[in-house]
């Protein structure tokens, strides 16, 4: 029997189970598991318990609520417990392939005062939209995996793979403890995992499904310029001392040009050239400059061409100036000469940029430009946060399974996309488990994750469950 | 009888009254009349009442507590009353000259938690220092005038001039209502004023008294660059849109060079050249580059030469970059592309800079540099606060009287100084009353007005009362 044949009854069951699936998501959304709000930490734990009870009901084995200990500072409550990482398995058949699915059960903050049209922690169905905090990020996809199990059980279809679930509760707050756990469990709980599927991003637009095969990295720097030992009055000291702000502006203004080109020697030279094969991947992608203007709320883009826009968002580096710590930042007119200012900027990284070399290029350039100034102020430049880029072969077994599943459910080949931001856990799974990761999104580009009125379209939710299910079957059938 | 002869018994009385004078200052300091703290507003009123009772005791006439109405927003209490301006006269003899003395009875905030060694609102005498908030700024000088009256009464010496007192309670909070009152009363309460004396600044150093004949003005500008309609994520938008921060840094970095030279065409050309006579005024001034390094807490000055330092502080313009509103200003690493940023800078102005022309030069330059960028973001540049410079003839009758008084009491010719900052009321009195103003300071350069452990040295307080008194007598004797 072909994969498609065997999926027919499963898909019918998924369609029939729609009310039950929506009810399950509704229960999940009703628990305000906001990881960044210490006062709501008990709700994050409650959400973990909800998942555990669902997993038990669905027949999961070896369920483990992994204690991550106390949250490190800065915290208000020094004894604040981290929510557990929930681990579970469905099947341990050595004859089957093993897929690890990752998702997060914590959510962003939300309050009706922020401008929500409805109570954010009550899932409301309006037209064909399921509105509520976490609907698309990331409770929809997490519950989606559970729904798939339920549908398999209902039609008596055996899961085609061993499924390992890894659901964390701190994703919106830096994924504290996750990397360590993945490393520790790589040859224990996660032993034998053949492929990883993460459903925690979005279609590029609103109509065409995508698979995501790349993420930019990010190296975040700060430049500290210090002069006097306290802020000075510009009336008394203006015109007679080297002002740290003047020096900082001179240096930071030379990092990038007004068209976004990075001016630090050596950086652009590290970027892998676009191959003809890669360039062709951009041809079918549905996207336009208008969509960019709409998203930014202004017509301030550099490019009109689709490929230019997407490639500069996804596969070329960028440098952004974020702000200054220690300078006047309020409204009005304060006549201060700040004594010590810390300029912040970051570089989005892509293949084949070497992170250490990049740091060195940045440090050398900043120091050279500062030295040219001939100022008596002091300089320090440092990397304060780093995260590597990730790119996968979009035609490996894992992606092929996801592409086949998408094609079957949505009737189109998915666009192959990257993202400009980073999802650090992707690289962690790939490196620690030495296996491939596919990013298989459920929601659409306009879902408003992290915004007010976050939603998940009913078709994305229900067809999404079908896609996740079909992915498992195609992977089982096709993986070598 | 010479002025010096007639002052002898007065000076003896002042020396004898020292305990009473310290007690009067102690009472004044014990009232925490912090004008910027709404919760302490009743204390500002209490301080006004304290002055009124002192003025009554000392025989003042025509005492008026001038109601200034409700404080305009921003305020917490929409009905917050402004403290009164206290007006009083001693004598209305048409045969005598009339001197207006100005001071303020409000003070800066202070709390022991800020690092004060003693309770800030309790005047503590330690060695020869009177420590307490307001001791030098500006309760010492205000009470100093009252002490002078008391001493005259004690020895039965008639005041040689008609004295008009103008004491305000909002100086530390923008002198709300003062300018209007001075304008209104110019030919009423203040009619016939021949000269104005303000004792609300400091010696340049700690050893030599000064008279101050100039203040720089200040034009404060902001440059607004706006792009998207909301802050954007640099992962998603970095590399594809014009970033307002990049544009702002490009423009602001071109305003001034690293040695403090203003790069806006036309600005330096407006500055009056230093004449030989003016330059000679700097010869006797006691000051060294070491004092600058000590004040700044760092050796980051542009100049080693005394004249260079003082002239660039007092009589050349300067341009300082103060900060950015709307950008990331916190600690850590936030990967935001700010949608709208407002850069703040100010230019300290001196003779003969025309304020309107200066604005036009600034606007033209900023707009031209922005246009050169070829960005799609939007620019706005505006003046948000302006205050004119002030310079007096340091050899007129008013200054001569003050110089003679200083010489008699301290035994040296005072240094003739300017200040880099502004005291806007100086110009207001000069323009509205069409008369000269002298700035005759009581305290020393290290008094720490606005800082912790503010103090006034006992000799400065007591000899200061003698100086203020002698000033009145020399003015009466010498003014044409
Ligand atoms: Zn997420
Ligand atoms: Zn999220
Ligand atoms: Zn003052
Ligand atoms: Zn003050």
Task: Check if the beta carbon of residue B202 is closer than 8 Å to that of residue B447.
Answer: yes
- Give A 218-237 residues with CB within 8 A of chain B: 218, 220, 222, 227-230, 232-237
Percent of chain A's residues with pLDDT above 70: 100
Q: What is the rounded end-to-end Cα distance, in angstroms, of chain A?
A: 19
* C-alpha dist (Å) from residue A298 to A257, A290, A410: 20, 10, 32
Q: For the ranges A330-344, A460-474, B185-199, which has the lowest average pLDDT?
A: A330-344
- Interchain pair A258, B241: CB under 8 A: no
Cα separation, B5 vs B474, in Å, equals: 12
Residue A322 annotated as binding? no
Provide the β-strand partners of residue B86: B65, B167
Q: Would you call B15 exposed, middle or buried from its count of C-beta atoms within 10 A (0-12, 13-18, 19+)? A: middle
SS3 A43: helix
User: Residue B392's CB: how many other CB atoms inside 10 A?
Assistant: 20
CA nearest neighbour of A426 among A440, A412, A444: A440
Q: Does A73 touch chain B (CB under 8 A)?
A: no
Contacts of A332 in chain B (CB under 8 A): 384
In terms of DSSP bridges, do strands A162-168 and A98-104 run parallel, antiparallel, or are they unpaired? parallel
List the 104-163 stretch of B: residues with Cβ below 8 A of A.
none
Q: Which helix (H) or strand (E) holds A66?
A: strand A61-66
The per-residue pLDDT for B74 is: 85
d(C-alpha B382, C-alpha B365), whole Å: 12
pLDDT at A408 over 70: yes
d(CA A290, CA A389): 27
pLDDT at position A479 is 62
Contact residues, chain B, for A229 at CB < 8 Å: 296-298
Q: Are the C-beta atoms of residues B309 and B287 closer than 8 Å to each other?
A: yes
Which of A336-340, A396-400, B268-272 bottoms out in mean pLDDT, i.e. has the lowest? A336-340
What ranges in A376-423 are assigned the alpha helix state H? 397-410
Q: Buried (b) or exposed (e) across B112-121, using 16+ Cβ within 10 A?
A: eeeebeeebb
Residues in chain B, total: 480
B-chain residues within 8 Å CB-CB of A375? 258, 300
Work out the minimum CA distance from B193 to partner chain A, whole angstroms.
30
Which domains can be identified in chain B, with CATH numbers? 3-215+390-478 (3.40.630.10), 217-271+316-387 (3.30.70.360)
Based on the number of CB atoms within 10 Å of its own CB, is B406 exposed (0-12), middle (13-18) or buried (19 or more)? buried
Contact B235 A328 (CB under 8 A): no
Q: What is the DSSP string of B235-251?
A: HHHTTTB--HHHHHHHH
| Contact residues, chain A, for B256 at CB < 8 Å | 246
Structural tokens at position B347: 């230019």
Q: How far is A143 from chain B (nearest CA, A)?
A: 27
- Gap between the Cα atoms of B404 and B440, Å rounded: 12
Residue B200 CA, ligand 3 centroid: distance in Å:
5
* pLDDT the model gives residue B276: 96
- Give the pLDDT score at A423: 86
Answer whether A324 sits within 8 Å of B327, measured CB to CB: yes
Give the residue ranges of chain B where pLDDT is below 70.
479-480
- Contacts A233 to B, Cβ<8 Å: 420-421
pLDDT tens-digit map of A154-165: 999 999 999 999
Query: Is the four-CA dihedral B14, B20, B22, B27 of positive or negative sign?
Result: negative
Binding residues of B for substrate: 200, 233, 335, 348, 422, 450
CA separation, residue B201 to residues B101, B104, B196, B206, B418 (Å): 14, 12, 15, 13, 10
Cβ-defined contact of A239 to B348 (cutoff 8 Å):
yes
Write out chain A residues lying below 8 Å of B327, CB-based. Answer: 321-324, 329
Residues of A in contact with B247 (CB under 8 A): 258
| Beta-carbon contacts of residue A189 (< 8 Å; ≥ 6 apart) | A62, A64, A87, A164
Are B322 and A329 an interchain contact pair (Cβ–Cβ within 8 Å)? Answer: no
Q: Which of residues 249-278 of A touch B (CB under 8 A)?
A: 249-250, 252-253, 256-258, 260
Instruction: Give the annotated binding-site residues of B for Mn(2+).
Output: 104, 137, 172, 200, 450
Q: Whole-angstrom Cα distance, residue A465 to residue A442? A: 8
* Chain A CB within 8 Å of residue B319 CB: yes
Q: What is the DSSP letter of B101?
A: E
pLDDT tens figures, A344-356: 999 999 999 999 9
Residue A200 CA, ligand 2 centroid: distance in Å: 8
How far apart are the CA of B450 and the nearest CA of chain A, in angstroms?
11
Best of B172, B320, B385 to substitute, by most chain A Cβ atoms within 10 angstroms, is B320
Which tokens go with A262?
Answer: 């990075």
Tokens linked to B48: 């006004």
Contact A238 B420 (CB under 8 A): yes
Chain A residues with beta carbon closer than 8 angstroms to that of B218 = 234-235, 335
| A449 Cα–ligand 1 center, Å | 8
Sorted by sequence, the CB contacts under 8 Å of residue B267 that are 6+ apart come out as B317, B347, B353, B358, B361, B362
CB atoms within 10 A of CB A75: 12
**Which of A83, A197, A207, A96 has its CA nearest to residue A148?**
A197
Instruction: Write out the catalytic residue numbers of A.
Output: 106, 171
pLDDT given for residue A421 in this prediction: 86
Instruction: Give mean pLDDT, residues A315-337.
Output: 94
Element (H, E) at B210: strand B210-215
* CA distance linking residue B166 with residue B178, whole number of Å: 10
Cβ–Cβ gap A240/B309 under 8 Å: yes
Q: Which of B132, B51, B63 is nearest to B461 (CA)?
A: B132
User: What angle in degrees, to the nearest 10, is found between the helix axes of A424-433 and A178-185?
Assistant: 10
How far apart CA B173 and CA B400 sit, in angstroms, is 32
- How far apart (Å, rounded) are the C-alpha atoms in residues A253 and A321? 9
Confidence of residue A138 (pLDDT cuts 50, 70, 90): very high
Searching chain B, which residue's CA lies closest to the CA of residue A231? Answer: B296
Task: Give the nearest partner residue to A318 out of B239, B346, B385, using CB atoms.
Answer: B239
Minimal C-alpha gap between A188 and chain B (Å): 34
Give chain A's largest Cα–Cα span. Answer: 86
Closest CA to B311 of B425, B418, B194: B418
Tokens of A156: 């008596």
User: In B302-370, at which residue ranges do the beta strands (DSSP E only) sit?
Assistant: 318-325, 336-337, 340-349
CB A95: neighbour CB atoms within 10 A?
5
Q: Determine the 3-state secondary structure of A433 from DSSP.
A: helix
A107 and A137 Cβ atoms separated by less than 8 Å = yes
pLDDT in tens, A18-55: 999 999 999 999 999 999 999 999 999 999 999 999 99
B318 neighbors B348 (Cβ within 8 angstroms)? yes
**CB contact, 8 Å: B407 with chain A?**
no
Q: What pLDDT does residue B271 have?
A: 98
Pick from A237, A320, A385: CB nearest B243 = A320
Distance B277 CA to ligand 4 centre (A): 32
Give how far B424 is from chain A: nearest CA, Å: 13
C-alpha distances (whole Å) from B372 to each of A218, A253, B337, B365, B366 are 30, 15, 22, 11, 10
Other CB atoms within 10 A of residue A9 CB: 14
| pLDDT of the residue at B479 | 62
At a CB cut-off of 8 Å and minimum separation 6, what does B479 contact?
B97, B194, B195, B397, B398, B401
Indicate the helix (H) or strand (E) that contains A155: helix A139-155
d(CA A49, CA A44): 9
Residue A173 annotated as lining a ligand binding site: no
State the ipTM, two decimals: 0.90
Give the separation between CA A313 and CA B302, rounded to whole angstroms. 44
The minimum CA-CA distance between A389 and chain B, rounded to whole Å, is 11
Q: Does B350 touch chain A (CB under 8 A)?
A: no
The phi, psi pair for A35, rounded to 5°, reads: -75, -20
In a 10 Å sphere around its CB, with 0-12 CB exposed, 13-18 middle and 19+ buried, how is residue A469 labelled?
buried
Q: In Å, how far are A83, A195, A274, A389, B195 from A302, measured between CA atoms?
A: 43, 38, 19, 23, 63
pLDDT of residue A142: 98
A273 contact partners, CB below 8 Å, separation of at least 6? none
Q: What does the alpha-carbon distance between residue B117 and residue B148 come to, in Å, rounded to a whole number?
A: 31
**pLDDT for the residue numbered B144:** 98
Q: What is the dihedral of CA A284, A285, A286, A292, to 10 degrees?
A: -150
Q: Is A299 on the interface with B (CB under 8 A)?
A: yes
Q: CB of A421 within 8 Å of any CB in chain B?
A: yes
Q: What is the pLDDT of residue A56?
A: 98
CA B432, chain centre distance (Å): 18
CB B446 within 8 Å of CB B206: yes
Q: What is the DSSP letter of A408?
A: H
Mean pLDDT for A283-290 is 92
């Amino acid at each position: 029997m072909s994969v498609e044949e065997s999926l027919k009854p499963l898909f019918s069951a998924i369609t029939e189970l729609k009310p039950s699936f929506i009810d399950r998501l509704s229960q999940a959304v009703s628990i305000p598991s906001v990881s960044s709000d210490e006062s709501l930490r008990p709700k994050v734990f409650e959400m973990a318990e909800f998942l555990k009870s669902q997993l038990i009901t669905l027949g999961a084995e070896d369920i483990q609520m992994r204690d991550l200990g106390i949250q490190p500072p800065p915290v208000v409550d020094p004894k604040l417990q981290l929510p557990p990482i929930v681990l579970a398995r469905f099947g341990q058949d050595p004859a089957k392939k093993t897929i690890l699915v990752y998702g997060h059960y914590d959510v962003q903050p939300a309050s009706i005062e922020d401008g929500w049209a409805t109570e954010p922690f009550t899932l409301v169905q309006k037209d064909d939209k399921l509105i509520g905090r976490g609907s698309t990020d990331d409770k929809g996809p997490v519950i989606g995996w559970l729904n798939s199990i339920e549908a398999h059980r209902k039609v008596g279809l055996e899961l085609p793979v061993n499924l390992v679930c890894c659901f964390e509760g701190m994703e919106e707050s830096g994924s504290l403890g996750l990397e360590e756990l993945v490393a520790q469990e790589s040859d224990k709980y996660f032993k034998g995992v053949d492929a990883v599927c993460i459903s925690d991003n979005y279609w590029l637009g609103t109509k065409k499904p995508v698979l995501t095969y790349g993420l930019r990295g990010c190296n975040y720097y700060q430049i500290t310029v210090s002069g006097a030992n306290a802020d000075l009055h510009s009336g008394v000291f203006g015109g007679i001392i080297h002002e740290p702000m003047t020096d900082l502006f001179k240096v930071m203004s030379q990092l990038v040009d007004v068209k976004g080109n990075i001016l630090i020697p050596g950086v652009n030279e590290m970027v892998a050239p676009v191959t003809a094969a890669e360039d062709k991947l951009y041809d079918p992608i549905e996207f336009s400059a208008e969509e960019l203007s709409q998203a930014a709320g202004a017509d301030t883009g550099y490019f009109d061409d689709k490929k230019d826009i997407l490639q500069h968002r996804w596969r070329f580096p960028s440098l952004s100036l974020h702000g200054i710590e220690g300078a006047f930042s309020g409204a009005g007119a304060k006549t201060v000469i700040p004594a010590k200012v810390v300029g912040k900027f970051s570089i989005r990284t892509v293949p084949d940029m070497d992170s250490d070399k990049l740091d060195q290029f940045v440090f050398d350039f900043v120091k050279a430009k500062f030295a040219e100034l001939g100022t008596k102020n002091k300089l320090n430049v440092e990397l304060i946060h780093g995260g590597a880029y990730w790119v996968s072969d979009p035609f490996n077994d894992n992606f092929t399974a996801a592409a086949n599943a998408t094609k079957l459910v949505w009737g189109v080949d998915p666009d192959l996309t990257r993202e400009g931001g980073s999802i650090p856990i992707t690289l962690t799974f790939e490196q620690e488990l030495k296996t491939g990761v596919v990013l298989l999104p459920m929601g659409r580009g306009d879902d408003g994750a992290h915004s007010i009125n976050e939603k998940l379209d009913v078709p994305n939710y229900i067809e999404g469950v079908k896609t996740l299910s079909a992915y498992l079957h195609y992977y089982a059938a096709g993986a070598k």
